[in-house]
Amino acid sequence: MGAQYKTAVVCGGGGFIGGHFVADLLSRGIKVRVVDVKPMNEWYQVHPEAENVVADLNLKDACFAAVKGQEVVYNLACNMGGMGFIENNKGLCMISVLINTHLLMAARELGGVKKFFYASSACVYNGDKQKDKSVELFLKEEDAYPALPEDGYGWEKLFSERMCRHFREDYKIPGRVARFHNVYGPLGTFEGGREKAPAAMCRKVIEAKLSGKHEIEIWGDGKQTRSFMYITDCLKGIHMITDSDTFWEPINLGSAEGVTINTLVDIVEDIAGIKLKRNYNLDAPKGVAGRNSDNTLINKVFGWEPNTKLRDGMEKTYKWIYDQMAGRPQYRKASPALAGAH
């Protein structure tokens, strides 16, 4: 973020991406207001030097209070999680449309907002274009239409993208939209039902290693393909996209390093120094067959794309999750050789 901005509000700042992004903004000397619906003791990171607010941004008044006096609005707030959560909470995911709607209304009516960033998702892409499991299947920005997004969550994201577009066209709210592709890294959710695949795989491999039960359950047949973006690349991309004065269309923000879920397990097993028996749960939520980020546009516009290698990011993520789990009572009796080899 350039020095031309002094104040910013991060909506959903108590979440995984939000916590990292608030830290980044504070390091740049920005005065940050952080708003999240969760009680503060459930925030992923709490930064005392920020203005921290617990509020429900589904409510209009909360959105107006959040935006008042802020030059930049970052909307990372929504009801979301891994595929298990998305497939089983479609109505809850749709309710998030209120958040972006009320934030845009606040930006229009209060004035003073110089940039408005909306965190969209690769779930907006047409499902018919994601039936191939090839790691060479890359989704371009135009593949969002004709519209057939992920039911619930994807529809909300696509609708909110259109809201940003029309508020920019009709009311001159300078909206910017990034379509996130599977963000992962330390300080994220790794259990409880909302975790994404990289963290879930780390947890499952660590559980198998520490418990001595060398088996792992994989949702689907393991041949589904995805790309995963490390958190530091996500932060850099948010800044580049938000700060641009020449580009405002929705754009992919994700790694182009596509892998199968089986390959993701291979990587985590290698990091852990273990091989596991794989049990495939074909009845579990598994999402689309293939979804990887085509980075042609972001390279053309910004001369950059997320470039952290999956193996490198997963090593850092695995180590952090291991450190959270290894001290739990059920694993303390593990032998030193077993517990220390990470």
> Do residues 225 and 134 lie in contact, with contact meaning Cβ atoms separated by under 8 Å?
yes
Any idea which of 150-159, 259-268, 330-339 has the lowest mean pLDDT? 330-339
* pLDDT score, position 259: 93
CATH class of 186-226+257-293+309-327: alpha beta
Reply yes or no on whether the pLDDT at 4 is more than 90. no
Which part of the chain is CATH 3.90.25.10? 186-226+257-293+309-327
* pLDDT score, position 338: 42
Q: Exposed, middle or buried, 327 (CB in 10 Å: 0-12/13-18/19+)?
A: exposed
The residue among 290, 156, 293 whose CA lies nearest residue 230 is 293
CA–CA gap between residue 177 and residue 193 (Å, rounded): 27
Residue 50, helix vs strand vs coil: coil
User: Rounded mean pLDDT of 45-53?
Assistant: 98
Any idea which of 48-57, 213-222, 244-253, 284-293 has the lowest mean pLDDT? 284-293
Number of H helices, E strands in the chain: 12, 15
Q: pLDDT of 83-134, one tens digit each? A: 566 677 787 889 999 999 999 999 999 999 999 999 999 999 998 887 766 5
Q: Which residues are catalytic?
A: 153
CATH class of 7-183+229-253: alpha beta
CA–CA gap between residue 128 and residue 277 (Å, rounded): 33
What is the helix (H) or strand (E) element at residue 252, kind and residue range? Answer: strand 251-253
Q: Where are the alpha helices (DSSP H) in the chain?
A: 16-27, 60-67, 83-88, 90-95, 97-110, 153-171, 197-211, 231-243, 261-272, 296-302, 310-325, 336-340
Which part of the chain is CATH 3.40.50.720? 7-183+229-253
Residue 251, strand partner residues = 178
- What confidence tier does 341 reach under pLDDT thresholds 50, 70, 90? very low
